[in-house]
């Protein structure tokens, strides 16, 4: 329950168990390869998933690192963390002084997704990254609210001729686009 951010905190036994459990959620799909953040907790998660699925991790992509929370990294709820909040400040930095702006985080994540879609058209790629980067990237490409991303939870987004669609979020299958409010594709002309 601490803000990890870019601090390279190793994966613990709970995380290893979540990674092994993720193999079961991923195995019904056909995947081509994996890419991951170079932070050790994501890299080890990707290695465990790749091993469980008989795949290869082809790249550790620096832009997939988690958001830099600055001085808030390592802190849990309490007075010290609250002292770093910007009361009534802009939401672009998530409310913490010195944190990487949310727009910059989203830019990094979306750039990677667009690059993968462009360089590997039709490929089914597992991207192992970090919750805040994933959430902010999805908000940007889908232009909709996205809840907190759970650790090692399957989220499936697809790039197609009509833009990006979200099929699975935090392990929950979503209804097809247009079947319910908020279940929609987003045209992304800059893909």
- For each of the chain's 191 residues, which pLDDT tens digit applies? 688 899 999 999 999 999 999 999 999 999 999 999 999 999 999 999 999 999 999 999 999 999 999 999 989 889 998 888 876 554 444 678 889 999 999 999 999 999 999 999 999 999 999 999 999 999 999 999 999 999 889 999 999 999 999 999 999 999 765 443 333 333 333 33
Provide the token pair at 122: 């039709």
Give the number of other CB atoms < 10 A from CB of residue 112: 21
CB-based contacts of 113: which residues, under 8 Å, 6+ apart? Answer: 127, 137, 141, 157, 159, 164
Query: CA angle, 80 as apex, 79 and 81 as ends, to 5°?
Result: 90
Q: Report strand pairing: 156-160 vs 163-169.
A: antiparallel
Place of tokens 């929370």: 69
The CATH architecture assigned to 13-173 reads 3-Layer(aba) Sandwich (3.40)
CB-based contacts of 88: which residues, under 8 Å, 6+ apart? Answer: none
Residue 188, pLDDT score: 36
Provide the token pair at 191: 């893909």
CB-based contacts of 163: which residues, under 8 Å, 6+ apart? Answer: 141, 185, 186, 187, 188, 191
Residue 97, pLDDT score: 86
Residue 94, pLDDT score: 60
């Amino acid at each position: 329950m601490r803000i990890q951010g870019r601090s390279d905190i190793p994966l613990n036994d709970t995380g290893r168990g979540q990674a092994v459990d993720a193999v079961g959620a991923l195995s019904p799909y056909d995947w081509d390869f994996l890419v991951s953040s170079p932070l050790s907790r994501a890299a080890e998660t990707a290695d465990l998933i790749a091993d469980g699925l008989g795949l290869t991790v082809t790249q550790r992509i620096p832009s997939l690192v988690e958001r830099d929370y600055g001085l808030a990294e390592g802190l849990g709820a309490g007075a010290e963390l609250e002292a770093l909040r910007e009361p009534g400040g802009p939401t672009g930095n998530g409310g913490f002084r010195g944190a990487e702006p949310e727009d910059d985080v989203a830019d990094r994540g979306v750039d990677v997704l667009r690059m993968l879609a462009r360089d590997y058209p039709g490929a089914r790629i597992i991207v192992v990254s970090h919750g805040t980067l994933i959430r902010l990237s999805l908000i940007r490409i889908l232009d909709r609210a996205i809840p907190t991303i759970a650790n090692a939870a399957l989220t499936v987004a697809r790039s197609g001729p009509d833009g990006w669609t979200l099929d699975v979020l935090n392990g929950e299958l979503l209804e097809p686009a247009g079947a319910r409010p908020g279940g929609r594709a987003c045209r992304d002309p800059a893909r």
